[in-house]
């Protein structure tokens, strides 16, 4: 795929995500950024919607405190004028229970002028529920 400013920005964001560098990640986000995770808050307190960059970055801080992401691999990025989508494979260690989550989630970005304004993350909810039950039982 041809390199575009939007793709470059998203690759930089994922590099910051891998490094758990929230300051660098935040530098790409507008103040009205929104972050959606399809996991219900009843299943995981940091699920649901966060509106505003500050709330989204705080949620990521909480996730990084609870999960040690050991591996992130990006699938092919499908990019158009308004957004991008890709599968993201990750291996995360739940710090408290020491159990592993190996998952592939779908990321859908809404972009304006090549800059992200929203991220929606879609997990396999059945897989995540089984993982959380195991983590809570450990």
Q: Structural domains in the chain?
A: 5-137 (3.10.450.50)
Question: 2-16: buried (b, 16+ CB within 10 Å) or exposed (e) per residue?
Answer: eeeebeebbeebbeb
Question: 80-92: buried (b, 16+ CB within 10 Å) or exposed (e) per residue?
Answer: eeebbbbebebeb
Structure tokens at 82: 């308004």
Structure tokens at 65: 């405190």
Instruction: Provide the residue-wise pLDDT of the chain in tens; the chain has 138 residues.
Output: 457 899 999 999 999 999 999 999 999 999 999 999 999 999 999 999 999 999 999 999 999 999 999 899 999 999 998 999 999 999 999 999 999 999 999 999 999 999 999 999 999 999 999 999 988 887
Cβ(25)–Cβ(64) under 8 Å?
no
């Amino acid at each position: 795929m041809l390199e575009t400013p939007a793709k470059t920005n998203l690759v930089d964001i994922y590099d910051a995500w891998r490094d758990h560098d929230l300051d660098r990640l935040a530098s790409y986000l507008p103040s009205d950024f929104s972050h959606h995770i399809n996991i219900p808050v009843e299943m995981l307190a940091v699920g649901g919607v966060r509106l505003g960059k500050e709330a989204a970055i705080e949620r990521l801080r909480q996730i990084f405190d609870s999960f040690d992401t050991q591996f992130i691999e990006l699938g092919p990025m499908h990019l158009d004028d308004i957004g991008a989508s890709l599968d993201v494979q990750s291996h995360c260690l739940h710090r408290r229970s020491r159990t592993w989550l190996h998952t592939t989630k779908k990321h859908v970005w809404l972009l304006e002028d090549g800059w992200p304004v929203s991220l929606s993350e879609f997990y396999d909810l059945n897989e995540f529920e089984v993982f959380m039950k195991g983590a809570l039982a450990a």
